[in-house]
Amino acid sequence: MFGSNFCKRSAQVAVFLVFGTAAVSGSAAWQATSPASSPAWQRPPATAPAPAPAPITLADILRGAYGPYRVNNDLLSYHLDIRVDPDKQTISGKNSIRFKMLQDGTRIQLDLHSALGVDKILLGTTPLQYVRDSGAVFVDFPETLHAGQEYTIDFYYSGHPLTTARFGGFTFGKDPAGRPWIYTACEDIGASVWWPNKDQWRDEVENMQISVAIPSGLVDVSNGKFLGKTDLGDGYTRWDWLVQYPINNYDVALNIGNYVHFSDQLGDLPLDFYVLPEDLEKAKKQFAQAKGMIEAYEHYFGEYPFKKDGYKLVEVPYSGMEHQSAVAYGNHFTNGYLGRDWTGVAVSPKFDFIIIHESGHEWFGNAVSAADRSDMWIHEGWTTYLEVLYVEYTFGHDDALKYVNGYKPKVQNREPIIAERGIAATPPQDMYFKGALFLNTLRNVINDDARWWALIRDFYQHFKYQNIMTEDVVAYFNQRTQLYLTPLFDQYLRHTAIPTLELKFNEADGTVDYRWQADEPDFAMPIRVGKKTDWQIIQATTYWQTMKTPLKKNEFDVATDLYFVNVSKQ
Ligand SMILES: [Zn+2]
């Protein structure tokens, strides 16, 4: 995603929720932070206080917690089969949900926004009872479902889905020529804003079929491989798509419009493009960038992760969204971001920010996914870093360094990047820019590019098609590097302040004392200091050490373009 409204939640409130008889803790004490004690001039700009957090509601907890009626089952597949009526602005149909029970039980939790009606829920031909509570739908079974057994239920629903949030949730819109243009973008509000599902991040289906009946003459582009279309004989045509990989709920998309289609090929990967007819010529030029983007990411991480489903770009009226294998594109067929030099350092006008960013999510976000929204930096921090890698691959290291440092003025350092777990909280904007700057820092801590490239490639390959938490990332990096990187990750991800390198010069003795000022007592990070043309690496910790230097205070540099840190000289 890019450009959402970043809502704020309290990170300090412990919440306990009773689901029937089981209590679930949704809080994490380690997220408390201490204020930065460095003087204001040493901190990056934009240090206005964080806005007051919105209170956590029961609905947040029902949606965000991995409660007992979610934990007792494992999703296998969905078949979403719906009809969309542009005139009445309604959707209706069913989702067939196949799952395996992990424990014996008589209840599971699904989710559907309260704006939509539940028509019936069937197990075979047996109607099931259910209880709705805000967005949750607790489905009750007349007999015990057994651990290890697989079941399919058909969840019928209908109604007028909500158009909400910046990108719309579900929008019945019109294109500039006044024809229907209907699209989805629901990462923040959740996929249950328009279809019934287990609306959380931890558990993904292995595969999914999407069938969308729309007035004949319109086109539906959804995720996965296009299977074909069927004239239903009543003025409607059903479009069938097959997703052959695990998929996040929020990635599941409808794009209904008067699309025209053109295609290309990268090796044996099909590339398919869907745009409004007026934009066809512009799109043919601009979307040529997709090939270079895929080549760059394949260079660093390996094969495009959804090869059997192909790669698609689909024009939408909002800026963009990483819908798996059907990336939503709304960047006006121009370079930069919405026509602007996105980082202000004359690099982003060389490429189309939305193609590069949203498609980067195919590797991080869609293939490697976070298990909870709290750890969304695994999507956004990594994908923002992928932009930097794209720049390095395409335009060289100097531009990449300029590009990533161009993100510094966007960093706020007001809240930790990792948000409260289990309440569907949206982390702060720092997960993008500070996340990428942190990964650039980590590269320079490793200080061996051959090792760094192997490390991030193996990290991706190890976790692709999985849903992970930050702890998994840190454990992997610690194990592979044989370094204790936990305090480093924690300082950047779980605190607001970045580390400050404190330097005390004693020019008479030709020495300088140095240490890190950081929230993590065990924080340690090597860093290049001294003369730009001949850096020295010091192994700085939170304890004072002394080094010899012939350099005067004003001649002594720190490689702040390679490490995202503050420097204080005394
Ligand atoms: Zn994104």
φ, ψ of residue 33 in degrees (nearest 5): -125, 155
Distance 237 CA to ligand 1 centre (A): 33
Residue 527: strand pairing partners? 538
Distance 383 CA to ligand 1 centre (A): 6
User: Confidence band (pLDDT; 50, 70, 90) for 48?
Assistant: low
Q: How much is the pLDDT for 45? A: 40
pLDDT tens per residue across span 376-435: 999 999 999 999 999 999 999 999 999 999 999 999 999 999 999 999 999 999 999 999
Q: How much is the pLDDT for 84? A: 98
User: Confidence band (pLDDT; 50, 70, 90) for 245?
Assistant: very high
Distance 457 CA to ligand 1 centre (A): 20
User: Confidence band (pLDDT; 50, 70, 90) for 52?
Assistant: confident
Distance 327 CA to ligand 1 centre (A): 11
User: Confidence band (pLDDT; 50, 70, 90) for 50?
Assistant: low
Strand ranges for 510-565 from DSSP E: 511-517, 525-531, 534-540, 545-548, 557-558
Q: How much is the pLDDT for 51? A: 65
Mean model confidence pLDDT for the chain? 92
Do residues 73 and 171 touch, judged by C-beta distance below 8 A? Answer: no
Angle between helices 377-395 and 353-360 (to 10 degrees): 130
Contacts of residue 190, Cβ cutoff 8 Å, sequence gap at least 6? 63, 111, 113, 135, 199, 249, 250, 424
In angstroms, how far is CA 90 from the centroid of its own chain? 29
Q: How much is the pLDDT for 9? A: 36
User: Confidence band (pLDDT; 50, 70, 90) for 22?
Assistant: very low
User: Confidence band (pLDDT; 50, 70, 90) for 164?
Assistant: confident
Quick one: average pLDDT of 42-69? Answer: 75
Distance 1 CA to ligand 1 centre (A): 3
Distance 444 CA to ligand 1 centre (A): 24
Distance 79 CA to ligand 1 centre (A): 27
Distance 364 CA to ligand 1 centre (A): 9
Distance CA 363, CA 460 (A): 8
Distance 385 CA to ligand 1 centre (A): 11
Distance CA 259, CA 276 (A): 5
Distance 322 CA to ligand 1 centre (A): 7
Distance 223 CA to ligand 1 centre (A): 18
Contacts of residue 257, Cβ cutoff 8 Å, sequence gap at least 6? 175, 179, 180, 181, 182, 183, 218, 219, 276, 315
Q: How much is the pLDDT for 195? A: 98
Alpha-carbon distance values, 99 to 95, 104, 492 (Å): 12, 13, 38
Distance 277 CA to ligand 1 centre (A): 27
Question: What percent of the chain has a predicted confidence (pLDDT) above 70?
Answer: 91
Distance 379 CA to ligand 1 centre (A): 7
Distance 6 CA to ligand 1 centre (A): 13
Is the predicted pLDDT of residue 15 greater than 50, yes or no? Answer: no
Distance 87 CA to ligand 1 centre (A): 33
Predicted TM-score (pTM) of the model is: 0.92
Distance 436 CA to ligand 1 centre (A): 12
Distance 320 CA to ligand 1 centre (A): 9
Alpha-carbon distance values, 532 to 14, 129, 510, 529, 558 (Å): 48, 70, 18, 8, 8
Is the predicted pLDDT of residue 49 greater than 70, yes or no? Answer: no
Is the predicted pLDDT of residue 36 greater than 90, yes or no? Answer: no
Q: How much is the pLDDT for 14? A: 31
Distance 428 CA to ligand 1 centre (A): 13
Do residues 151 and 123 touch, judged by C-beta distance below 8 A? Answer: yes
Distance 301 CA to ligand 1 centre (A): 18
322: its two tokens: 């990483």
Distance 107 CA to ligand 1 centre (A): 35
User: Confidence band (pLDDT; 50, 70, 90) for 167?
Assistant: confident
Burial 208-225 (b: 16+ CB within 10 A, else e): bbbbbbbbeebbbbbbbb
Distance 184 CA to ligand 1 centre (A): 16
Q: How much is the pLDDT for 168? A: 81
Distance 374 CA to ligand 1 centre (A): 15
Q: How buried is residue 307: exposed, middle or buried, by Cβ count under 10 Å (0-12/13-18/19+)? A: middle
pLDDT tens per residue across span 296-346: 999 999 999 999 999 999 999 999 999 999 999 999 999 999 999 999 999
Tokens 């028509």 found at: 119
Distance 338 CA to ligand 1 centre (A): 15
pLDDT tens per residue across span 225-237: 999 999 999 999 9
Distance 21 CA to ligand 1 centre (A): 38
Nearest one of 390, 90, 363, 389 to 213, comparing CA atoms = 90
Distance 432 CA to ligand 1 centre (A): 8
Distance 558 CA to ligand 1 centre (A): 31
pLDDT tens per residue across span 515-562: 999 999 999 999 999 999 999 999 999 999 999 999 999 999 999 999
**Of the ranges 40-44, 181-185, 369-373, 478-482, which one carries the lowest mean pLDDT score?**
40-44
Distance 93 CA to ligand 1 centre (A): 31
Is the predicted pLDDT of residue 33 greater than 50, yes or no? Answer: no
Q: How buried is residue 18: exposed, middle or buried, by Cβ count under 10 Å (0-12/13-18/19+)? A: exposed
Distance 453 CA to ligand 1 centre (A): 22
